[in-house]
């Protein structure tokens, strides 16, 4: 009897320890979510409100149109079509999003981060130079040339990029493990913030002349 009790106690303690070890707050689905005491004044939740399951139809679980090429007639020569929960409500709470990326010859998807998602990129057509940079203090660059059928992973929150080094158009698809992965393009956020970051701050950070910073802020 004592042996059975000891075994049961061990199982209970292990289960309790396991539940405590795995307990954590849900991942954020937006940049911030300030708490309010009055739910009537709440506008956003960490995710979306759910549709009554009895009212759902098969159309809630399908998104069409990613077969069509997107225009790359812009300064960067690339176009990202993100399918997140805002575009595809059926993704809500499922922790996934998808993107089609079109590249003109020598088109660039510039250095950026996804603050809430790891990205898995698959090359469908063309040849891409891709890479990501690790966090301080090492700031190591991991880079590779990818061809059709190759897959590359960009860890969550790290600066990464893709550059079409071929003379023809390229296409890639990215899956992201968050329904709202977020996007921070480094150049836009740094030089195009609203309101602008004090140019003296940027001049000191980048060791550049203030006039150069002013020019960059006007560009973005």
pLDDT tens sequence across 28-60: 777 877 666 676 666 666 778 888 888 999 999
pLDDT score for 74: 97
Average pLDDT in the chain: 87
Angle, in degrees to the nearest 10, between helices 199-206 and 210-219: 110
- 114 belongs to an annotated ligand binding site: yes
The dihedrals phi and psi of 11, each to the nearest 5 degrees, come to -65, -45
% the chain with pLDDT above 70: 82
Residue 3's pLDDT band (cuts 50, 70, 90) = low
- 180 belongs to an annotated ligand binding site: no
User: SS3 for 79?
Assistant: strand
pLDDT at position 144 over 90:
yes
User: SS3 for 62?
Assistant: coil
pLDDT in tens, 106-118: 999 999 999 999 9
The answer to whether 178 and 133 are in contact (CB under 8 A) is no
Region 78-94: what's the mean pLDDT?
93
- 24 belongs to an annotated ligand binding site: no
Residue 22's pLDDT band (cuts 50, 70, 90) = very low
């Amino acid at each position: 009897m004592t042996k059975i009790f000891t075994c049961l106690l061990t199982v209970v303690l292990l289960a309790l320890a396991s539940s405590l070890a795995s307990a954590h707050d849900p991942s954020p689905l937006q940049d911030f979510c300030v708490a309010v005491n009055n739910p009537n004044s709440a506008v956003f939740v960490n995710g979306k409100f759910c549709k009554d399951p009895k009212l759902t139809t098969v159309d809630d679980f399908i998104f069409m149109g990613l077969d069509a090429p997107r225009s790359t007639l812009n300064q960067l020569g690339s176009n990202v079509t993100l399918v997140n929960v805002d575009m595809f409500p059926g993704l809500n709470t499922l922790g996934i999003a998808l993107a089609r990326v079109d590249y003109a010859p020598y088109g660039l998807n510039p250095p950026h981060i996804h603050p809430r998602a790891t990205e898995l990129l698959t090359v469908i057509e063309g040849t891409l130079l891709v890479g990501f940079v690790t966090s301080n203090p090492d700031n190591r660059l991991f880079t590779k040339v990818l061809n059709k059928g190759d897959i590359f992973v960009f860890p969550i929150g790290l600066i990464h990029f893709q550059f079409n080094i071929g003379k023809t158009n390229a296409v890639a698809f990215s899956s992201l493990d968050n329904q709202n992965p977020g996007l921070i393009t480094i150049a836009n956020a740094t030089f195009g913030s609203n309101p602008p970051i004090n140019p003296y701050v940027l001049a000191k950070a980048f060791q550049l002349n203030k006039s150069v910073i002013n020019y960059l802020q006007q560009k973005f």
